[in-house]
Structures are given as C-alpha cells and as structure tokens.
Amino acid sequence: MKKKVILGLSGGVDSSVAIVELLKQGYEVECMFMRNWDSAANNDMLGNPDLNSSVCPQELDYQDALKVAEKLGVKLHRVDFIKEYWDTVFTYFLDEYKKGRTPNPDIMCNKEIKFKAFLKEAKKIGCDYIAMGHYARVKHYQDHSVLLRGVDKNKDQTYFLSGISQEQLRNALFPIGELQKSEVRQIALDYDLATATKKDSTGICFIGERNFNQFLSNYLPAQKGKMVTLDGKVIGEHYGLMYYTIGQRKGLKIGGLDGYDNEPWFVIGKNLAKNELYVGQGFYNPYLMSNRCIVEDMNFFNPVKDEFDCTAKFRYRQEDNNVHVKKLENNLYEITYPQTVRAVTPGQACVLYDGEVCLGGGTIKEVYMDQDKRMY
C-alpha cells in the first residue's frame, strides 16, 4: 500500500513542484491549504482595526493552489488556523516588539502552525507523513531523524526550521530539498503549472505589500524619542523604537551634520527605559561588533554535548561563523566567536550547524563584547 502524504500547498511554485516530486516517488498525495490570517477576525480579537486591511493575498494564493491541485489530480483540503496563528505567532510577534527585540515569526510559524497544527489536522485524514515546499532535506533513521541543508545553498531554509521538534521532524518530508531553484522553475514549466512564473513571496505573510510601520502602528502605539550618539549628543528624533533594528541604515534620515564626516549612520543600540535610539557612524562601528551572546529556548533535534565547536548563523543567509557552544543553567547557552560578528541581534535566531547537518537553534537573548553587554 502506498504511503499517504499530506502536503502544505501554499499557492507558490515550490510547494506546487513538491507535489510533482512526491508523485514521482510513488506516494499517495493530498494537499492542504492553510488560511492563517484574516484582518476582520483578528481585529475583532484585538478590538483595534487594521486601517490598512485589504484583500488578503492568501485568498489569491488559494485560487492558484486550486489550479495546481486540479492540474495534477490531487485533492485539496482547506483549513483555518486563524486563531492558532494569532495565539502562537502574531501575539509572540507583538510581544517581542514590545520588548524592543526583532522577532522572527517564520520560525514560530513553522514550529506552531506548519509542523504542529497542520500535522494534527493531517493525521485526522490518515497521513503517514506531512510535506512542505522548504529547501531543506531530512534523513529518517530507525530511531531518529536528521535535518540537512537544502542543496540550493542560496535558498536553504533550515534556519527557519530550527525550532521544530524531533517528533515533528520525524513526520516530515521535504520533496524539493535536492533541487536548485532553477530546476524547480523548469519542472513547473514542464508540467504547465499555474505557479510556474509566479513571483516568490517575501517578507512577513500577514503584512504582505503594506507598509510595515503603518501596519505595526495599528497594533502597538509608537512613542517618539531622541536619537542620540553614545556620548549623549542628540542628533535627531526616532519614530518609535520598535521600527528599528540593530545595524539598520535605511530610514534614519540623518546625515550632513556639522562636526561629523560623511560616513553613513547606523542603529547601534536601544534604551527602552529612556526611549532612546543609539546611532553611530560606520558599517563596522565597534559597538555593532560582538564576540559572544547568550541564547535562550535552545532546541536541538538530537542530543549534543554540553560543550562543543560548530558553526552558526545569526541571521538568514548569513555566512557560517565558527563558534564555541557551552551549556549554562536554565537551558541557556553561551555562544562565543572570537573573530567577532556584526549586528548580532536579540530576538533573532542563532542556528547551529555541523557541516550539512542543522543541529537546532534558539533565540538570542543578550549580546556582549567580552564583558561589555550591548544595549540592544
């Protein structure tokens, strides 16, 4: 009897081609389209209208998903995870911004929605596995599974999968993980799929094409404050600390100041208590550099030693950094990198690798240069 796979069909080219690959491998395939965001329903929960709400791109994606499913002869289910998404992803997103941190909702979405709520619904249909159109690979052994980077290094998405559990990984397949993006596009063209030339989605799904600052202001009140240098000189005004991230250059609207050269300005720190944004000149401003950080909520797919060397990414698509990992108390880990790294940012993920193997990851809590804690 064929193994049954329920694929998360998003209405994009990657998940569309994942159907083709699963069918080639002999699986019985059904698909499920996830509806995770609804402006009207979410505004009711918050009691604060999204003034920039419009037709959600997911509705258009569903029509594309339906065309692909019909073309390939697979059944398409539609499920709503609106409340689950609000409770576990969007609330987390807002809470992190309230703390002055820069969150990564895609990691939480994978952990709580795509590989948890989705898996629960898929099992109701009687699946053996779930599958997603991520650029990643998985090897299933008798008693454990291992997550591997996607073959296409430029598209590898293991960074965003670092928060899922071993149990979730055990139930997962990644059909396009062995393919380059160019190959995925060609397969979609060969099969005349409606998504073959569709533009890849970017950014945060619930914001879509809307202005990020305007969207966020509907949910979190912004408070203007001083933009200052580390020596305390006020050189401008910020529009709310939540709108800025460490290492940011764009949107500061400062330059050509008397007494300063023409080097560009960057965000180098925040002070929530004083509502001040710290800025400094130079891409490699010393205050943007660090050599260790503390990581919380660490998730490992398989057991590791309490102290070991590996590589890490502190941001998506960042080059691998050589690091030393040491376990502390309360599931905290100290990550050291003597070569120094720029703009390691609280709220972002630190994801660990051993060659092709993704070991897992956690959330950056604190950042240091030696004993000097950065005001991030």
Eight-class DSSP state of 241: G
Q: Rounded to whole angstroms, what are the CA distances from 355 to 1, 118, 148, 267, 309? A: 36, 30, 9, 33, 11
Distance (Å, whole) CA 84 – CA 86: 5
Tokens of 284: 């490699």
SS3 365: strand
Question: Do 12 and 52 touch, CB atoms closer than 8 A?
Answer: no
Q: Rounded to whole angstroms, what are the CA distances from 139 to 147, 177, 358? A: 7, 11, 12
Distance (Å, whole) CA 162 – CA 152: 18
Distance (Å, whole) CA 297 – CA 81: 24
Task: Catalogue the active-site residues.
Answer: 109, 205
Burial 244-270 (b: 16+ CB within 10 A, else e): bbbbbeeebeeeeeeeeeeeebbbbbb
